[in-house]
Each structure stands twice: as structure tokens, then as C-alpha cells.
Amino acid sequence: MSDTKVALITGGSSGLGRELVRALSADGWRVITDARNHATLTDETHGLPGVEAIPGDVTDFTHREELAAAVRRFGRLDLLVNNASTLGPTPLAPLAERTVEDLPDVWRTNVGAPFALTLAVLPDLLAHDGVLLSISSDAAVEHYEGWGLYAASKAALDHLTLTFGAENPELHAYAVDPGDMRTAMHQAAFPGEDISDRPEPAAVVPHLRHLWEQRPESGRYRAADLPARETAGARR
């Protein structure tokens, strides 16, 4: 079995997921990642050392089995990042204008898929002193008009992630609010607005790196409150 560390990052074709894939590749990790758009995933991961891109939808059982099989081929898993996410129906609207039919897609993507994927690779994480990192939102603890379905799903993801940690004390489990970022999903939440004042996702990565390098106590964190740690390349 190789000593090279292995990460599995969902939603690696854009936004924060893409920047995490790039950063870990630069740090010398092997990285397994996925996304629904095959062409975009291929373009964004082309030429990145140590990256295995597996196109597919993380809500699909067969695709999750493919991801778990890739982990087994590498023989270890040091970091799982549950990053793939959806806002749900857009434009955002008050809960009174939603129906129960609007809920399943948000729940499958933001709660069901990360829960099922974590279960599938939990033995691999536990065997290698692994880190479980779920990308959350301030909406999980605040109450914003129009964000109700997304917020409820992120609150549930926080709870599941930290319960995995409580039930497995050897697991380093983190639910992290990355803060507002200049991403396509954030733009979809604010159609027609200028979001150029939001930080690029790459600016968040050094703060998240603190978690898998320093492994503080399991819990919920804001990325902005974590120290920033540079890439291995930058430290050289």
C-alpha cells in the first residue's frame, strides 16, 4: 500500500471543489473527484497530477459505488470532502411559495448523497486516521428569506457529519461554513447582481487545509476563523 495520501472530493469541476482538487494535487496527494458534467470535469482536471476524475451524479447509487471502488484501488482514504451541493429551485422563494415536491432533489443531493457516500467509505477513513469534511453554509444556522430548503439541508448535513464524529471518536469530523464565494451557485442565488466583491474559492482553501493538517477537535467551524496554511509548493 502506498504512503501517498488519498482524498475523495465530490463536485470537483467548479467552485470550491475544483480549487480543493487543484490544491491537493499540488500538495502531492492522489485525488478522486467527480461531477455531473463529463466534459467540464475532464477539462478542469486534465493534466493535474494524481487526479482520477469519475463523471457521474453523487445521488446515484451506482456512481457512489464507483467512487468507493476507486478508494479501494488506492488502498486508503485520508480525506473525504462532501462538497457537491445544490440550491434547489431557483430563483429562490419563500417557503410559503414552495411545495413538498421541491424538497427531494435538495435533500438527495445535500443530505442523502453525502450520508450514503460517507457510510460507503467510513471503514477506509477510520483505518487511516481520516478526516471527514462537509461543506456547510451560514444558512445552516441563520434564517434567510428564500433560503429555507437549502438551509434545512445544510443543517441536516452538519448534524449527520458531527454525529459521525461523536459515534467514531477516532474520526476527525468537520462541518465548515466557507463563507460567501464568487461561484456559479452563489450567482444563481443572486441573479443579475454583481457578486465580484465575494472572495474567489481559492482564497478559502488555505483555511480548510488547517483542518486536515492540524486536526483540531471535531466540530462546526467558519473558514474565516481558521488559520491559513499555504500549499506545500508555496512553503518550499
Residues recognised as catalytic: 136-137, 150, 154
Q: Locate the DSSP E strands across 83-213.
A: 131-135, 172-177
Cβ atoms of 71 and 34 closer than 8 Å: no
Handedness of CA 196, 197, 198, 200 (dihedral sign): positive
Under a CB-based contact definition with an 8 Å cutoff, are residues 199 and 181 in contact?
yes
H/E stretch holding 80 reads strand 79-82
Backbone angles phi, psi at 204, to 5 degrees: -85, -30
Set of cell numbers at residue 81: 470532502
CA dist., res. 132 & res. 110, Å (int): 15
Q: Return the closest-CA partner of residue 125 out of 20, 50, 215.
A: 215
Termini Cα distance of the chain: 27
Name the region of 102 (left: φ>0; alpha: ψ -120 to 50; beta: rest). alpha
